[in-house]
């Protein structure tokens, strides 16, 4: 007998500084779970708490009456999903709770004791197996041991599958939210995943830990079939690094042509690929590429080396300039070190202002548990891993060594306001995207400024 399964994405803690002000991506992982569960004969519904008021959670549980509730979570959401699980169990102790998502895959122990099941690997297959086991009346303890992907302590082995043979994500399950899924300036934006992991080994990168340093790809014809089924004009390819294989990209473009697809694409890519393969970037542009997120990370060679980034400042600079010249939007990710002084922030501002239109995301270095950077930086970390909501890539996790925390936050704000969010950016957004999108972005920028201002004033 099929079960009702509720799939929930949490609302971030009010003190987290989140990019939700600028982007709310569709919960692709939950849509994948929904389609696989339904194919197995269960009935799944998705509740996106980012876009719902707090009180909706229990009302939804009361009306949908799920036998199982599954949660997805990043690190800042761990405490929140634990609280959700407690309140759901209080409502009905018979409901089975499952934690999954990228944090559970690398740090499953953080969820120990708070959920009936924790999905450690192969989330989709594992969730279906849990639902089937619960429907068959299996005891939780027995199922924990028997289902291969379920976390049951370090004594069990967990084999990651690298073949991708799942049905397309069920985007109808988020139909009521889809008008509000966006990525920065790109409104009504769908997401798609075409590959997993990355061939590189940057020391701060969490994505490669999820894929256990493997890199594997979906069949590109299958990807294009999925794109054809997407209604939105804007499609964000959420691969950790889409710019890996030239034959695959060429094939992607060929199939896009054959299918007559006309979409706008946004993707993540590396600077060295962009510089070395301008012709491929042009080809992608001719097939709808509109924006690339490039991990520029630093203007200092020694930091890039320390991050094992395997690019140089010169390559990064050339990549941003090339995208600028081609009219492709470039979002640059910058990591600011805990050992930065005022002169470093001054240099960062000068570095970014050499670009025509710097669109940037500045993050204090955040060594995420499970990465090599975390092991290297353990002694400098001053925020406990249990203060989950502060691990948002915006709060200082390590104590600044050359200035106070308040001064550090002030300098982050200063870097934003003297570069990416200065007057010319306002004009750029207004001219290119119109008043409505400008106002949404301005509202988000104001909110984040207010959060940083509070930290700069009161710590």
Stretch that binds ligand SF4, among 163-171, 196-204, 253-261, 369-377 (CB under 6 A): 196-204
d(CA 169, CA 193): 10
Judged by DSSP in three states, 302 sits in: helix
C-alpha 315/C-alpha 343 separation (Å) is 23
| 295 sits near ligand SF4 (criterion: CB under 6 A) | yes
198 lies in the binding site for ligand SF4 (CB under 6 A): yes
Q: Shortest Cβ distance from residue 342 to ligand SF4 (Å)?
A: 28
Spatial separation of the C-alpha atoms in residues 160 and 212, rounded to whole Å:
8
Q: Which of 69, 75, 85, 208 binds ligand SF4 (CB under 6 A)?
A: 208
Q: Is 202 in the site for ligand SF4 (CB under 6 A)?
A: yes
Position 205 contacts ligand SF4 (CB under 6 A): yes
Tell whether residue 200 is a contact of ligand SF4 (CB under 6 A).
yes
- Helix, strand, coil shares of the chain, percent, nearest 5, are 45, 15, 35
Q: Return the number of the residue (143 or 210) whose C-beta is nearest ligand SF4.
A: 210
Whether the Cβ atoms of residue 296 and residue 419 lie closer than 8 Å to each other: no
Binding residues for ligand SF4, total number by CB under 6 A = 11
- For the bound state, the minimum distance from the C-beta of residue 226 to ligand SF4, rounded and expressed in Å, comes to 22
Site for ligand SF4, residues 246 to 275, rule: CB under 6 A: 270
Residues 385 and 379: their CA atoms lie apart, in Å, by: 13
Asked if residue 126 lies in contact with residue 101, where contact means CB atoms within 8 angstroms, the answer is: no
Among residues 108, 110, 100, 160, which one has the least CA distance to residue 130?
Answer: 100
CB-CB neighbours of 222 under 10 Å: 14
How near is the Cβ of 423 to ligand SF4 at its closest, in Å? Answer: 31
Q: Which stretch binds ligand SF4 (CB under 6 A): 42-50, 198-206, 319-327, 431-439?
A: 198-206
Closer to ligand SF4 by CB, 61 or 210: give it: 210
Which CB atom, from 202 or from 365, has the smaller least distance to ligand SF4?
A: 202
241 forms part of the interface with ligand SF4 (CB under 6 A): yes
Q: Which CB atom, from 24 or from 208, has the smaller least distance to ligand SF4? A: 208
Q: Tell me the closest approach of the beta carbon of residue 218 to ligand SF4, in angstroms.
A: 17
Separation CA 449–CA 252 (nearest Å): 40
Alpha-helical segments (H) within 277-422? 278-286, 301-306, 313-326, 342-353, 372-377, 405-418
If the CB atoms of residues 5 and 368 are measured against ligand SF4, the closer one turns out to be 368
Name the site residues for ligand SF4 (rule: CB under 6 A): 198, 200-202, 205, 207-208, 240-241, 270, 295
């Amino acid at each position: 007998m099929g079960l009702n399964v509720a799939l929930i994405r949490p609302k971030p803690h009010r003190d987290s500084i989140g990019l939700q002000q600028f982007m709310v991506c569709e919960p692709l992982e939950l849509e994948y779970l929904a389609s696989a569960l339904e194919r197995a004969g269960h009935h799944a519904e998705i509740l996106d708490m980012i876009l719902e008021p707090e009180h909706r959670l229990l009302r939804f549980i009361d009306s949908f009456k799920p036998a199982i509730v599954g949660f997805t979570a990043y690190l800042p959401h761990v405490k929140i999903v634990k609280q959700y699980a407690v309140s759901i169990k209080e409502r009905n102790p018979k409901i089975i709770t499952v934690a999954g998502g990228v944090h559970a895959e690398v740090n499953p122990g953080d969820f120990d004791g708070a959920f009936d099941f924790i999905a450690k690997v192969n989330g989709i297959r594992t969730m279906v197996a849990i639902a089937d086991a619960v429907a068959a009346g299996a005891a939780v303890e027995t199922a924990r041991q028997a289902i291969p992907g379920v976390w049951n302590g370090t004594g069990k082995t967990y084999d990651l599958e690298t073949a991708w043979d799942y049905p397309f994500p069920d985007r109808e399950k988020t139909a009521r939210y889809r008008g509000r899924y966006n990525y920065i300036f790109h409104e009504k934006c769908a997401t798609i995943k075409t590959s997993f992991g990355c061939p590189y080994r940057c020391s701060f990168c969490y994505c490669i830990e999820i894929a256990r340093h493997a890199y594997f790809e979906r069949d590109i014809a299958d990807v294009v079939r999925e794109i054809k089924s997407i209604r939105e004009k804007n499609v964000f390819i959420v691969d950790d690094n889409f710019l890996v294989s030239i034959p695959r990209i060429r094939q992607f473009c060929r199939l896009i042509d054959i299918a007559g697809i006309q979409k706008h694409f946004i993707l993540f890519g590396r600077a060295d690929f962009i510089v070395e393969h301008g012709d491929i970037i042009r080809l992608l542009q001719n097939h709808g590429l509109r924006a690339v997120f490039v991990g520029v990370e630093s203007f200092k060679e020694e930091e890039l080396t320390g991050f094992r980034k395997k690019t140089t400042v010169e390559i990064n600079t050339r990549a941003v300039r090339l995208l600028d010249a081609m009219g492709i939007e470039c979002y640059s990710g910058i990591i600011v070190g805990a050992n930065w002084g005022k002169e470093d922030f001054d240099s960062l501002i000068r570095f970014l202002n050499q670009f025509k239109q710097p669109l940037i995301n500045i993050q204090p270095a955040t060594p995420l548990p499970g990465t090599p950077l975390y092991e290297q930086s353990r002694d400098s970390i001053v925020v406990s891993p249990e203060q989950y909501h502060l691990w948002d890539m915006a709060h200082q996790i390590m104590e600044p060594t050359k200035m106070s925390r308040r001064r550090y936050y002030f300098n982050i704000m200063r870097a934003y306001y003297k570069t990416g969010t200065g007057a010319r950016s306002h004009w750029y957004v207004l001219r290119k995207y119109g008043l409505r999108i400008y106002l949404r972005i301005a509202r988000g920028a104001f909110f984040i400024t207010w959060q940083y201002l509070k930290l700069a004033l009161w710590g």
